[in-house]
Chain A
Amino acid sequence: MITLQVNGTSHQVDTDPEMPLLWVIRDLIGLTGTKYGCGEAYCGACTVHLDGEPVRSCVTPIARAAGHRVTTIEGLSPSNDHPLQKAWVELGVPQCGYCQAGQIMSAAALLAANPSPSDEDIDRSLAGNLCRCGTYLRIRAAIHKAAPNRTATNNGAALATGKDI
């Protein structure tokens, strides 16, 4: 039996310790906001936080999460009001939306570590989150908009303030 905390709630799961965290979250606990993309840590759709650090849940064995705190997109904020979620809505970032949970979880980890990221910082930190719809410019803009110490020195910041880029 493996015990882990997901979004503040303790769960006990009886499963193979090598089962990916993603399947525990989706199939055993029933939180389906986190998506399966590639299953090989290439695309970032399954990104969640483990003790605040982003991990690709599709390749994280549940044994690694035992006794630790997992945060999924459902637990990022109490009322879907994380600054990133608000910026995402305001700028209309998603198209099909499939990758966006992973994008936001990676972005939240970036902003926690760097409250005023440059375009280059964002590009590097989200290089592993793929979007088949190509919403990268709006993702970047929304991150700037949500950044606690936002700057207006780059393209993403320009879009975040409503200017054309």
Chain B
Amino acid sequence: MVFRRREPSTGLGAAPRLRIVRAGSLLLFSTAALIAAWSSGSASQTPAAEQLRPPKTFASITDQRQRSRALYAEASRVLLHPRCVNCHPSDDTPRQGDAQAVHEPPVSRGPADRGVPAMQCSSCHQDHNMKYARVPGAPEWHVAPLKMAWLGRTPAQICAQIKDPSRNGGKTLEQLHEHMASDALVGWAWAPGSGRKPAPGTQKEFGALIRAWIETGAECPTEEVSR
């Protein structure tokens, strides 16, 4: 089965209704963005976040396993977003920007994934974004361990990985949800500052999708997600 981001298998009649809702949301959102830009003068510098569809969007998928996979496919839009993948590198150095360029200045993950002497992550990154220098920051800024690398991996591969305690930091699914829904460093992805495009939706909405995915059996895609 192939999941498509815009038109999931939500049952007869659901997809057209979804389009109408989304078109309406888009109009509303565009109007809100215009007002915000007019009133603050700075909103145009921060790209608008894409929206995440809530779990109820997938309620019409009667097969629970298929519904679980659809929920994961939606959540994977966050997992694969540059704001998340850039700090889950499969090599020695994090990435930057939507083009996922190698981190500048050149940095190494070091033995504890927090840099090397004199070039620690905390040498430059604070616990919050620096507005004028545009250096991103959040509590406990560091790269994910190599065994949690996502860069270059597919949604199906990442799904198997995040469920595997030997590759997810020994987390149960409940702890995985807690991490994704509440962790401050994860939360930076939705408030990256300085014109960086946020991950889709909000951390709360992402947490709701992960919760619903777990409650439906935390199924992984049987084939690669197609977008």
Contacts and interface: CB of A to CB of B under 8 A. Distances in A.
Interface in B99-153: 104-108, 116-120, 122-124, 126-127, 130-135
Contact of B105 (A20, A113, A127): A127
B123 A55 contact: yes
B126 A128 contact: no
A109 interface: yes
A130 B132 CA distance: 21
Interface in A5-47: 18, 20, 39-44, 47
A42 B104 contact: yes
Interface in B69-112: 104-108
B125 to A, nearest CB: 8
A49 to B, nearest CB: 10
Nearest to B130: A59
How large, as a class, is the contact surface on chain B? 20 to 34
Contact of A110 (B104, B118, B130): B118
A25 B119 CA distance: 21
A4 interface: no
B122 A55 contact: yes
A59 B133 contact: yes
A54 interface: yes
A125 B117 contact: yes
A54 B134 contact: no
B122 A59 contact: no
A99 to B, nearest CB: 13
B130 A61 contact: yes
A41 B135 contact: yes
Given A59-B126, A128-B123, A39 B117 contact: no
A60 to B, nearest CB: 7
A59 B135 contact: yes
A70 interface: no
Contacts of B135: 40-41, 59
B130 A107 contact: no
A61 B124 CA distance: 11
Given A124-B108, A127-B105, A128-B107, A41 B124 contact: yes
A127 B107 contact: yes
Contact of A128 (B119, B122, B132): B119
Contacts of A55: 122-124
Nearest to B104: A42
A56 interface: yes
B116 A125 contact: yes
Given A110-B117, A113-B117, A40 B134 contact: yes
Interface in A50-76: 53-56, 58-61, 64
Interface in B172-226: none
A116 interface: no
Interface in A96-126: 106-107, 109-110, 112-114, 121, 124-126
B123 A53 contact: yes
Nearest to A61: B126
Given A59-B130, A109-B117, A127 B106 contact: yes
26 contacts: A18-B131, A41-B135, A44-B105, A53-B123, A54-B118, A55-B123, A56-B124, A59-B124, A60-B126, A106-B118, A109-B117, A109-B118, A110-B117, A113-B118, A114-B117, A121-B117, A124-B108, A124-B116, A125-B118, A125-B119, A127-B107, A128-B105, A128-B106, A128-B119, A128-B124, A130-B105
